[in-house]
Every structure is written in C-alpha cells, then in structure tokens.
Structure 1
C-alpha cells in the first residue's frame, strides 16, 4: 500500500471517501491510468459528455505531482509562445497560443461548479532578479496581451517592494489571471465530482499490463478493465515498463518544497502583501506563497532523474533566508520531494500509441493548468473533434539526450550552464 507522502497538503486535506481496490473485471468506455490532474480532468470532461469512465491509480488520488506541487496557477507552457513560434512556426504558435489561459479558466470553473474547497486565491507575480529578466517580462506581457490577457501589470522596483518584503527584485509582472490553490484538495474535489457523475476510481490498483485491441484490456494485480479507449496519464509516476513508447522520451525530475511554522498575520502580510503567489525568472526558478494558515511554502531546485536529496531543508532554507533574511530562525514544519516529468523540448507530449489509445504527459513544471486543458482536449478528441489535440500531437517528441544512462547528468550539465547565466544576468 502506498500512502500519501508526509506533506503539509496530506495533513490538511479535506476528509472524503476512500476509493476501493479493483478486484474484479470491469467494462467501461474509457480506462484512464493515473488519478492526477491529467487523469481526473479527462475523467471529468468525459463523464460530463456521457462516457463511462474508469480511473486506475497505483497509489492514492493526487499521490504524485498533482498533490505535491507548489499550488501555483501559472499560465502558458514551460516554453512560451515566442519560443513556440521560433521553433514551430507562426501557425502552430497561433493555435497553441489561443489555449494558454484556458487551463486556469477550467480550474476556476471546476471550483465554482462543484463547490471545491481548495483555498483558491487570485493573482501571481513573476519576479525579476535583474534588468534582463525584467525586459523579458515586458516582452511576455506584450505576447500574452496578443492572446487576450488584459489582467497583466508591470511592476517597477518600487511597486514590487510594495508587494514582496524582499530587496531581491528589480521589478516584476503581476498576472491577476494566475493564482494559487491547495493542490491535493483540488484533486480530491475533482475526484468526488467524477464519482458524482457515475465514474469509477480505484486506488492501490496500478496497471501492470496492457493488451491492445478492441477492447483494450488493462490488468492490475487483482482485476481487469476492458475498455473501448485508453488514456495513459501517469506522467512521472508511470510504470516505465508499461509501454516504452510512452516512457522513453521523457525524464522524471524532483523538486523540493518546505513549509514553515505558522507566521503571524503581520509577518505574513509583510512578506507578501496581497497574498499573491510568486516565482522568480531564473532557469532553475524558486517559487513561494502563503498557505491558508499563514505558513510560507517555498520550493525550488531540480534533481534530475528524480533522486530524493538527503536533506531537503538544507537545500531550501538558504533560499528562503536569501529572499527573506527577516525569517532567520524560522522553524520548518514540513519538507518533501515531488517528481514532475521533463521533456527535451520542454513542451507537453500528447499522442496516440494505438488507434484507440492515447497519452498525455511531460508538462515540464507547468502541469497544474496545462493538465486541466489536456483533459478537455482528450475529451474533444474522443468525441470526434481532433483539431486541438492534434496541434500538440504534431509537435516532435525528441528523445532525451544520452538515453536512459546519461540523460540525467547531461541535462544537469545544461541546466548548470543556464544557472550560471542567470547568476550573472546574461
């Protein structure tokens, strides 16, 4: 049995139903492997469209990145529209650009529609550490405004000092269409909505074998699902041997988070005046926000290959004190690692492995919003409207440099180069 990792989110999750272990043969329209955001969003859209849906989860709902992430609703993809246009052309950029704010809208709609209690707060800041990053944010603002975001505000040094109690930043960009949530409670609320609509979710029921055909047969340790369609949505926690066509072109990476003891209301507001979430603009970025009970949640760094570091607090606490030296002596109550799935292009990987079997994965650190968009796109695809899904599926899925043996060290070398550029503002 795999319980939740020891985290702030697990300790403050909403009480709810337990999901059974699959111990029988189940007939369904769509079988989904993975009960994270990709699987849950897909299950919810498909259930709303009248499909019988069965979700298989190897551990617990939201066990992976969906229940461990920083809780930030950040628009766009891990590569923004300007990079997409330079790599793939204006037409592809136009199609993908038209969707960059849709994931956040979907989350807000789900929260309202199903009454999900997940501490949603509006607004996020991209914080610039040097003039080059600030110029980049001005370009980002112009690009996002082209696609309809009218909730963006540039911040100069005085403005950002009024928002964040740190002297680390020269300016920033406030996106009021961003925000932050309790990510595990969002996942649990979406799972409850799936059940309410007649869907089925099985925990501790990892897929161990897939037999493609009509129907597709997915086997677990104790049961079996027979389905017209299959969606593989395990991301960084997918069994790497389940289908190597899906798992061979990406790499799990770890990100670390710590949460402080509760802070006084006065101290909390001095740190982040308007309770926005914050991320800096470095290649290996840091991100932070306040929780509903006024703790500082702070994350950063990447461990390539998803190894768990020996001392998470020792990695993150110096970052906190560099940003907020006034917190010297603060106690850390929680610390954990969560894995996300990195692709070579840093773009999501959507595709088809058989005529009735699909996969969606590899959000490269931007999964909260994009995974919710993914659920809508696969629902459109199965219902016969393939255009938007295919816009992603047509992107090349490049293998990671170095294969399975050398991909982690080679990627880390590349990241170190960009981290050095960040350090010197070049």
Structure 2
C-alpha cells in the first residue's frame, strides 16, 4: 500500500526507499509498526546500542503519524485534573511529571538529526464560551503545578489579534506547543534510525508472532527472530493481536487543505503562525503550512471507516470559523484513524515477558508516542518505573464489547457535543 493522497504525501521530502523483508534475519528487538510509536522506540533503542529491525506493513508514516493535523499538543487526551481525581497521588505525580516530555523529545530530534519538517513554535487552545474559558484557566493552573511556565491566557481581544475570527471568547497560548509537517518528521526519524544501523523494511506486514525467547515475527516473505518484540501498530494493527484490539477503538478524523493563500491573507488569518484547536469535545483544529495553505480538520467518525465526502463534512466548520474564506478552493482532502480508549489515556503493557505494546493515545499521539519510545527503551535497559506508571493504569473495555462500542461511543459523543453547543 502507498500513502493516501494527502498534502503531506504530495509535499514529502525526497527519501530513499526501504526494502521489503524477503529473508530470515535476527536482531535484539523487532518493532512492529512504522508510525511515531515504532519510530521513537526504534530510534531510542539504536541509540542505546540495540540491534533493531522495524517492520512496516505499508510505508513509513502511512497511518496517523503521516496524516494528522501536525500539532504538537502537550499532556494527554485526559488532562491532569482528571488524572488527579481518578487515580492515586503517586500515579498523578508520575504521569504529571511526563506531560511535557514528548514535545521536548520532538524538538530535540529535529535539532539533533537536522530534520526538515517546517517546525514552528507556539499553539493555542481556543474557548467558544465562558465555560470553556474557565476550563482553560484551570488547565493553566494545573500545568503550572507540574512545572510548565510557558503559558499565557488570552481574552477576547487578545485572541482576535492572534486568529482572525469572531468565534472565540478567549484562549490559552502554549509557547512550548507548536506545529510541523508530520510525515517529514517520521521520514527524518526513520533516516536517523538507518544512519545509526537500524534496519527498516516496508511492505512487510506481520502475519503472525510466535511467542518464545527468541520470538519469531513472521511476514509473507521472511521471518525475524528477536529477543524482544514491540507492538506499535496502534489503529492500524488489524487483527494481529485480539487482546489489544478488544480494548480500544479506531476512530476517523477528517482533514482538508486549501489552495495557497496570499501573503496578506495568511498574515491576517494567523499573524504569528500558531496552530489552533478549539475546546469542544469533538474539536476542530487548524494551522498554516509552510507554503501558506490552511489545514483544517475536525469531527470524529467512530469505527475504522472513511466518510464518503470529507470536504462536505469539514468545509462548513472552516467557513464558520473563517467566513472570509468563502469560495476558497480545497486542493487536498483525506482521513486517518486514531485509536480511542475508554479512559482516553494510553495503554502500555506486556503481552508476554518479552513482548511489549503501546497504543491508544486518543487523539494526542504526536507527543505521547515520542514519550512512549523513550519509556520503552528505559524498560529494556532495566528502568521500569516510568513505563509501569502507564502499564498499571486499568485498560477498560468499551461498554457492550466490540459489537456495540461504536454506537455507544457515538451516543456519548452526541451528548457532549450538545453540551458544547449549549455552553454548559
């Protein structure tokens, strides 16, 4: 399979191809999945001296890692206030101490390996009503308790100076957020893995994992014997491991990209080139690209299916935010899947003593996947505490099992969407 027809695929950096696995090989660690979780894991591991093989069923960054909105958003899909209220003090302390680490890792990778991915600093959370503004004030206080001092509250006048829309009553500017070209970040990380001696194979879907020590990872044309296996397929894992797919649900998000704006249009629209996401339960997000296009995404389709007309779903949202763009042409439209958990917190753990998994970032995967790779490398070098802080979280099944997880989740989303519309 090839990349979907997205703006990112059309503007990807030139890169050498990776081969298909067509022989039997051995390694220390076999990573299954060539998205951010797998790439981050593999890069940290090769830096630590492990012999690593990464297997990707399609192409590097084929899934959500190469299709997302490109926004570097700190914390998790459930923020620290929810974590503090639901889990122990020790759990909150551990997860809180790691909330901002993923973004730091991304910035470090870009600098260390000279990755050309159009990185820009700064991201905003926008409030559409006073209830959401109060939540942003609480979020600022919560993040500051855990050491993040790069936040700025914006009132209605101030946010209007940052985004040319009348939709928002205020917002929260995170100076350590930001945005980038997500596929080019993935390709740059893959190239760094190769430079350090890691082996990457594309078009090498895993058909079976035979447990043992070593484990045997089987593809159509080859096998990998490895002392450790890392499951990093996330929403694109398929039916390879039913124990993982039973407790998380693939969901679709839709994205469109406009034709290039003029310099004047772009500078009026988002003068400081920050990325933006609103505070709704089913949120909208947008930003400018390096060539002054507007990328706009929003909404959720529950279950692993793609809507028939992405532009029809997303364009009304864009025009509600920016009515001045009426008549703008859309050059690219696509969808991609992220993996949703019932708790909205990621699921880390072990399937066997030497088989690890990380999945279920619930829409906050850009930063948390990079943290996941670091924690995986820590546990394989004998430091389990931070990985286990996530692994010990309960991995709850969706109500009604896999058969009813889509309608039940959609009903819950409809409830929260109504609350957003009513501002309660």
TM range (shorter): over 0.9
How is 1:409-420 mapped onto 2 (pairs within 5 angstroms)? 409-420=407-418
| 1-structure distance, mates of 2:273, 2:20 | 40
Tell me the equivalent position of 2:351: 353
Q: CA deviation at 1:129?
A: 0.1
| 2-structure distance, mates of 1:350, 1:222 | 30
Tell me the equivalent position of 2:53: 54
1:329 aligns with 2:327: yes
- SS of match in other structure, 1:405: helix
| 2-structure distance, mates of 1:90, 1:275 | 38
Q: 1:279 aligns with which of 277, 280, 295?
A: 277
5+ residue gaps in structure 1? none
Tell me the equivalent position of 1:257: 255
| 1-structure distance, mates of 2:234, 2:177 | 24
5+ residue gaps in structure 2? none
Instruction: Show CA shifts across 1:126-170 (max 9, x none).
Output: 000000000100000001011111110000001001000000000
| 2-structure distance, mates of 1:289, 1:89 | 37
Tell me the equivalent position of 1:25: 24
Task: Could you list the structure 1 runs, at least 4 aligned residues long, displaced by more than 4 angstroms after superposition.
Answer: none
1:403 aligns with 2:401: yes
RMSD: 0.5
Q: CA deviation at 1:89?
A: 2.2
Tell me the equivalent position of 2:265: 267
Tell me the equivalent position of 2:218: 219
| 1-structure distance, mates of 2:102, 2:77 | 13
| 2-structure distance, mates of 1:149, 1:398 | 30
How is 1:12-411 mapped onto 2 (pairs within 5 angstroms)? 12-240=11-239, 242-411=240-409
| 1-structure distance, mates of 2:277, 2:413 | 18
| 2-structure distance, mates of 1:78, 1:150 | 20
Taking structure 2 as the reference length, the TM-score comes to 1.00
| 2-structure distance, mates of 1:81, 1:29 | 36
Instruction: Show CA shifts across 1:22-70 (max 9, x none).
Output: 0001100000000000000000000000000000000000000000000
- SS of match in other structure, 1:384: coil
| 1-structure distance, mates of 2:374, 2:154 | 34
Instruction: Show CA shifts across 1:211-263 (max 9, x none).
Output: 000100000000000000000000000022x1211221000000000000000
| 2-structure distance, mates of 1:36, 1:258 | 21
Taking structure 1 as the reference length, the TM-score comes to 0.99
| 2-structure distance, mates of 1:149, 1:421 | 29
Q: CA deviation at 1:413?
A: 0.4
Q: CA deviation at 1:300?
A: 0.2
| 2-structure distance, mates of 1:366, 1:404 | 23
| 1-structure distance, mates of 2:253, 2:297 | 7
| 2-structure distance, mates of 1:239, 1:115 | 34
Q: CA deviation at 1:402?
A: 1.8
| 1-structure distance, mates of 2:135, 2:355 | 39
Q: CA deviation at 1:306?
A: 2.1
- SS of match in other structure, 1:263: coil
- SS of match in other structure, 2:206: coil
- SS of match in other structure, 2:126: strand
Q: CA deviation at 1:115?
A: 0.2
Instruction: Show CA shifts across 1:54-89 (max 9, x none).
Output: 000000000000000000000000000110011112
| 1-structure distance, mates of 2:164, 2:208 | 52
How many residues of Structure 1 are paired with residues of Structure 2 in the alignment?
Answer: 424
| 1-structure distance, mates of 2:301, 2:245 | 18
| 2-structure distance, mates of 1:261, 1:146 | 42
| 2-structure distance, mates of 1:11, 1:81 | 37
